[in-house]
Structures are given as structure tokens and as C-alpha cells.
Amino acid sequence: MKKKLSLIFAFVAAMALSVAALAGCSSNSSEGSGAASGDAAASNELIVGFDQSYPPYGFVGDDGNFTGFDLDLAAEVAERNGWTVKYEPIDWDAKDTLLNSGAITCIWNGFTMEGREDDYTFSDPYMLNGQVIVVKADKGIASLADLAGKNVITQTDSAALDVLEGDRADLAATFANLETIAEYNTAFMQLESGAVDAVACDLSIAQYQMSAKPGAYVMLDETLSSEHYAVGFKKGDTETAEKVSQTLKEMYEDGTVEELCNKYSEYGLSFENWLIK
């Protein structure tokens, strides 16, 4: 009888240890999932994914450090919420994988929200934008119709490409060729060299490039689309998105946004295009 009781006690003890071990594994797994979620509200870290060749929103400054309007906005938002900010230059094609894995908290880099509403949780739209066409000033291209038979280039996976493959596919069909490239700085180098006839890009990019080379380029009056910039978060991260939107509103009210717009005005950025008020 004593032997049977001993066996029973041993079995009960072993089961208790197993339950405790399973509970420990479940707790550790849950913590790991939270850490990988990229949720700034949970981790106290805002990891900003951005294209480092996208002035004036995100780029490498003359001192070799990352700078830009969006990066400055992100730094101020992080400070006001007690978060640590980290800038993560990304391959634009990999942005969704990085966001969904938790490697970055958000995509904050002149990110157009139109057409992407089902794929991300967005902050409130904060900046007016549009897709436009830029050409060399001396090429006699004055309208969208003049692009027939011409070589046009845009950035891979960009809003401009989405428009030209979607609502304005009829226009793109008139081009001799619609090329894509990794980043806009190289696209404008190709425009300057004559390798292409036009660049399809964001309004902000057009304004920056024209301000950098006065008289070299012109922007066609006819736009491809009108849209808005917002900060893109992993689908479901509404808490961080709402905190960012509220903080941007506070920054507008206390004049911080206007100061930052003025800081980058030489790059063609205008305070008149700011939306969160």
C-alpha cells in the first residue's frame, strides 16, 4: 500500500512540474510575441522604416547622418511619448516583410495612403501630396499628351507606379517605355543625362529636385493624382497610430510643425500642405 501511495505522489508531483513548465513556456512565448510586434506603446521604441534616398522626408545629410522632415517629426513624437526612436533605412521592396515581422514599427517616409488602406493601419493623413510628371525644361514637353512615344521612369513599388498601372494605365500605354528604378535620385540623374524623357514622382520629390537645380526641370500642370501622406503601421496597431496622430496635432498647435516645415522649405516643402490641425 505504501508503495502504491508513493507512486501516486510521484505521479502527481511530475504532473505539477509539467504544468508549471508549460505555463513558463507560454509566458515566455507571449513576451517574445509582444517584443516582436513593433508596437511602440508596448516596447517604448519607435523603429522608423524609411527610404534614405527620399529628400526632404528622409535622406543622408552632408554630415553623413540621417535627416529629413519625417525623421524630425518622428523624433519629436517619440520624445513626447517617452519612446526611444531608431531610424532604420530599408529596401523599399521589403517594407511589408519588415513591418509585419516587427523589425520596424512603422513606415514613415512620405508614404501615400491611398490604395493601401486595407494593408496597413494608418495615422491621420498629415501632408497633402500628388503624383506629377517632371521633364527637362528644354525638351518641349508641356502636357501629358506630349509623353506619347517617350521614355518615362518612376520608383519601384511607388504611388506613381500604382497610378500608372491603375487609374492612368491608358496614359502609360502611350509611352514608349515605363521603367522602374530603386530610388528617385538615380531617376533624376537619368533624366538629366537624357536616358529618359520624364520622371513620374510625388509632388514633394518634384519640388525638391526643382529647387536643387533651378531652371533645369519643369513640372507639368496636369497631375496624375491627388493624395495624402500618412504613417503606416502594422494592421491592427491602432494604439500607436492614434498616439502619433494626437501628438502631431499637438505639435501643430504649439508651432513645432511650422518650424520644421520652415527648416525644410529650401527643399520645396510647404507648410500650406500640412493637414492635421
- Give the C-alpha separation, 56 to 3, whole Å: 79
Tell me: pLDDT of 276 over 60.
yes
Q: What are the pLDDT digits (tens) for 170-187?
A: 999 999 999 999 999 999
pTM of the model: 0.72
- Answer with the residue of higher pLDDT: 131 or 36: 131
Longest distance between any two alpha carbons in the chain, whole Å: 104
Handedness of CA 203, 207, 208, 213 (dihedral sign): positive
**Which pLDDT score is estimated for 38?**
59
Residue 149 has pLDDT above 90, yes or no: yes
The position carrying cell 488602406 is: 117
**pLDDT attached to residue 24:** 40
Looking at residues 206-222, what average pLDDT do you find?
93
Q: What is the mean pLDDT of the chain?
A: 87
Distance CA 151, CA 246 (A): 43
Average of per-residue pLDDT across 230-255 = 98
pLDDT score, position 195: 97
The residue-averaged pLDDT of 122-139 equals: 95
Tens of pLDDT, residues 163-172: 999 999 999 9
Domains with residue ranges and CATH for the chain: 44-126+230-273 (3.40.190.10), 130-227 (3.40.190.10)
The arithmetic mean of pLDDT across residues 196-203, rounded, is 96
DSSP the chain: -HHHHHHHHHHHHHHHHHHHHHHHHHHHHHHHHHHTS--HHHHSEEEEEE-TEETTTEEE-TTSSEE-HHHHHHHHHHHHHTPEEEEEE--GGGHHHHHHHTS-SEE-SS-B-TT-TTTSEE----EEEEEEEEEETTS---SGGGGTT-EEEEETT-HHHHHHHTTTHHHHTTSSEEEEES-HHHHHHHHHHTS-SEEEEEHHHHHHHHHHSTTTEEE-SS-SEEEEE--EE-TT-HHHHHHHHHHHHHHHHTTHHHHHHHHTGGGT--GGGB---
- Reported as a single tens digit per residue, the pLDDT across 48-64 is 999 998 889 999 999 99
What number of other Cβ atoms are within 10 A of residue 174's Cβ?
Answer: 13
More confident residue, 36 or 161: 161
pLDDT of res. 43:
81
Task: Give ∠ CA 108-110-116 in degrees, rounded to 5.
Answer: 80
Confidence of residue 115 (pLDDT cuts 50, 70, 90): confident
